[in-house]
């Protein structure tokens, strides 16, 4: 690892803030979720493609393991579509809180992919997440469809994260991401054609939607990915994982200030959100081995 650079910590928080802002953009865009994600992945493919072409980051053929990366790309597409659809039928706060449940799905999926046992701590943290989700479900009954979609999005997010964790060990992250984005474009294109939507509707998009989609594809996707890889050169995985847990916090605070009363939730929602976010924080400490030190330190 290279020498610590405090500027990279700022960049990491900037990226997490950008990811939190993604939910805000989803609320502002009127375009259908599947068309929105098709353009997001199209713009991201072009942006990452130009970056790797100019920097020479990719050495192997794009066809190498393309079938595996393509499947992951379709999962990413499903994650984003269900994410934006959840925002459209509920709101940003509900969606981001439920999306945090991806930690529970990761705890269940990681042992399958990495061939290890499920730990007692993971079961405990998973129970905290379930309790938090139960509170949100019981108090925010008008958003049940949004909660189901957000949980589906959380599962897809966990699935592609764990799968990429396996793939990244033997390949270039830039090439993996480029193939995944391209596969998503093709997969959603086929889906739109099947639904009879691959026509002029795909370009008849409100002017402000074009602006936000451009921000989404370049800054929130391509830029955030490239910079995210860069900061890992000097920051530890623990610092990165702990900081990423702030994404729903940033997003919920932003949503409250931007959308006002439509994002104001019941006390049960906030208790549930705290349980979920608290489990993420504890999980980060456990993975680094710092929880035991924190609990039993001398003095």
Task: For the chain of 299 residues, list the mean pLDDT of each consecutive stretch of 10.
Answer: 67 87 92 95 92 82 84 94 94 85 76 72 76 76 87 90 79 85 96 92 92 92 78 64 73 84 75 79 66 46
Q: What is the largest CA-CA distance in the chain?
A: 69
Cα–Cα distance for residue pair 185/191, rounded to 1 Å:
10
Residue 228, pLDDT score: 73
State pTM to two decimals.
0.84
Which pLDDT belongs to residue 6? 65
pLDDT score at 299: 43
DSSP letter at 63 equals: T
Helix or strand holding residue 24 (H, E): helix 6-28
Which pLDDT score, from 0 to 100, does residue 251 have? 84
Report DSSP letters for 147-196, one per residue: HHHHHHHHHHHHHHHHHHHHHGGGS-HHHHHHHHHHHHHHHHHHHHHHTT
Q: Give residue 296's pLDDT.
A: 42
Tokens 């026509």 sit on residue: 199
Domain ranges of the chain: 6-296
By three-state DSSP, how is residue 208 classified? helix
């Amino acid at each position: 690892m290279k020498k610590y650079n405090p500027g990279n910590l700022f960049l990491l928080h900037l990226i997490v803030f950008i990811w939190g802002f993604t939910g805000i953009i989803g609320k502002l865009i009127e375009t259908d979720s599947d068309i929105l994600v098709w353009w997001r992945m199209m713009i991201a493919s072009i942006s990452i493609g130009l970056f790797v072409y100019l920097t020479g980051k990719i050495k192997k053929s794009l066809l190498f393991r393309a079938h595996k990366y393509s499947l992951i790309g379709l999962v990413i597409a499903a994650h984003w579509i269900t994410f934006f659809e959840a925002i459209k039928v509920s709101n940003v706060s509900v969606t981001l809180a439920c999306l945090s449940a991806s930690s529970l799905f990761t705890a269940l999926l990681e042992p399958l992919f990495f061939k290890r046992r499920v730990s007692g701590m993971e079961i405990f943290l998973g129970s905290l997440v379930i309790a938090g989700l139960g509170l949100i479900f019981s108090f925010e009954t008008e958003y049940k469809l949004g909660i189901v979609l957000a949980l589906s999005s959380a599962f897809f997010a966990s699935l592609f994260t764990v799968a990429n964790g396996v793939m990244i060990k033997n390949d270039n992250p830039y090439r993996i991401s480029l193939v995944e984005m391209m596969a998503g474009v093709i997969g959603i294109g086929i889906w739109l054609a099947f639904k009879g939507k691959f026509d002029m509707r795909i370009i008849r998009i409100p002017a402000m939607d074009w602006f936000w989609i451009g921000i989404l594809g370049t800054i929130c996707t391509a830029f955030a990915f490239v910079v995210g890889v860069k900061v890992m050169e000097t920051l530890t995985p623990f610092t990165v994982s702990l900081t990423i847990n702030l994404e729903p916090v940033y997003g919920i605070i932003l949503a409250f200030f931007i959308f006002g009363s439509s994002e104001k939730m019941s006390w049960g929602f906030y208790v549930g959100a705290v349980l979920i976010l608290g489990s993420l924080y504890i999980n980060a400490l456990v993975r680094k081995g710092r929880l035991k030190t924190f609990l039993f330190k001398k003095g």
